[in-house]
Amino acid sequence: MADSTNLSDLKLKIIQRQQERLGKNAQNASQLQDRFLESRLAGLEQAAALFQLQAAAVEGGSPVSFAAPQRPQKPAVYTYEQLDEFGRGDIVRCLGPAYAVYNGRRTPRIPNTDLLVMSRVTAIQGQRFNPAAGGEIEVEYDVPLKAWYFEDNSYPTIPYSIYMEIALQPCGFLSAHLGTQLLFPEQDYFFRNLDGETCLLKQLDLRGRTITTHASLLKTMVSGKQIIQSFKFSLSVEDGEPIFEGSSVFGFFPPEAMAAQIGRDSGQETLPQYEQPGQSMTGSRILLDQSPFYRAEIGRPFYRLPDGKLKLLKEVFVSPAGGQEKKGYSYANKPVDRQDWFYACHFYGDPVMPGSLGVEAILEALQAFALQQDLGQGLTNPHFELVPGEAMEWKYRGQILQSHKMMKLEVHLTRLESTPGQVLLMGNASLWADRIRIYELKNTGIRLVEG
């Protein structure tokens, strides 16, 4: 038992040491010492985890989930400190003197603080200031053991929005490194994601692990002073196991082009099905703050909606027989609050709600549908999970700005399938900024499984 106590204490010390290192953002002065400590303690950490797993098996309890020890860091081409400068500081300190032309001006940035999910750039290729030649990037992200999105999610898995950010942020950084915006240095560009397709390949516990993103710039097209670029990307963990992949398109737009955005319906005002005149849809309207959906049941701690920074909805309407295919329909809305946390993180000098969080809000509307219909009733300890192997497509033709009044969305279910140990919900969705439909998603979904 003394050995067990010592190993447990050692495990705690290891985790505390990792958290302290992450909290200091891997400062250059301590990196060598950290690597030395990690390499010496990794074997002991594995021994402690093995001992506790064996003890749990002997006692008949559930094994404790342990994060795999991190591999030694690769040398950084761009450090976290430089990435942070690009996110919210002096762009020259990250990308060099050629970018001094943007001093005192707004320029495309990457997300910062809570939404910055890159720890270091470990490799980058391409001819600088010639984005037409393409390029490649490798980025590592050290997933914190207690990231805010684990704490705020209803179950400690990475939300889809964060997978999207881990995949897409390296694309934006590669574009900036290659000097895309310097093709027209006099322009004050807005940088926006336009569309893409992603697929979660495998659901893993990624707490305390390192995710590596490989991204490639495939094509750069210039029309007038608008610049469109397409990318592909893949995410893997320490042993090279792929977990997420996809492709996406981004654009650099002058202010006049942004002002002329017309949404997904050619500038026409449209309404969600729930709001259309004469619509008589049978269902239940739920004010979420007055519902039990944020409070877990006794013995079922994960059967609830996300909270905290992931609390993205105010009101939901659920129709079990509604929607375009009569398989179910969920409508939701939320008043726009110009003080919402994500505006300060995305982007510096250009506050806009991340498209990834719009996707997250749509998935939460599906979760609310499942809770209202109690689709987890056949499971002992259900929790919500993303669906591996299903490719989701999206198109963005606008954004939620601080000046908007209301975000609205709807999901038309295309599949509602119950099999032993799982309930699957898939659908097609749209999202509105006030009365203009700006996002369209195809084949997005969640599932309920045993916790």
The pLDDT of 85-107, averaged and rounded, is 97
CB 333 within 8 A of CB 409: yes
Is the per-residue pLDDT at 11 higher than 80? no
Is the per-residue pLDDT at 89 higher than 60? yes
Task: Look up the pTM and report it.
Answer: 0.85
Phi, psi at 232, each rounded to 5°: -130, 160
**Alpha-carbon distance 22 to 17, whole Å?**
9
The pLDDT value recorded for residue 155 is: 98
Residue 33 or 228, more confident: 228
- Would you identify the CATH topology of the domain 80-259? Thiol Ester Dehydrase; Chain A (3.10.129)
CB 178 within 8 A of CB 135: yes
The dotted CATH code for 263-450 is 3.10.129.10
The pLDDT of 220-234, averaged and rounded, is 98
- Domains 80-259 and 263-450 fall in the same CATH topology: yes
**Alpha-carbon distance 250 to 57, whole Å?**
50
Residues identified as active-site: 346
The pLDDT of 91-113, averaged and rounded, is 97
Q: How confident is the model at residue 70 (pLDDT cuts 50, 70, 90)?
A: low
**Alpha-carbon distance 254 to 344, whole Å?**
22
The pLDDT value recorded for residue 448 is: 98
Q: Which two structure tokens, joined as six digits, stand for 53?
A: 């797993």
User: 43-57, 111-125, 286-300: which range is least confident on average?
Assistant: 43-57
DSSP at 153: S
Q: What is the pLDDT of residues 181-203, one digit of tens each?
A: 999 999 999 999 999 999 999 99
The pLDDT value recorded for residue 73 is: 79
CB atoms within 10 A of CB 348: 20
Is the per-residue pLDDT at 49 higher than 70? no
Closest by Cα among 275, 235, 61 to 138:
235
Residue 340 or 19, more confident: 340
> What residue ranges do the domains of the chain occupy?
2-59, 80-259, 263-450
Q: What is the mean pLDDT of the chain?
A: 88
The pLDDT of 398-419, averaged and rounded, is 98
Is the per-residue pLDDT at 269 higher than 80? yes
Radius of gyration of the chain (CA): 23
Q: Which two structure tokens, joined as six digits, stand for 23?
A: 């909290």
The pLDDT value recorded for residue 71 is: 65
The pLDDT value recorded for residue 9 is: 52
Q: How confident is the model at residue 279 (pLDDT cuts 50, 70, 90)?
A: confident
Identify the three-state secondary structure at position 283.
coil
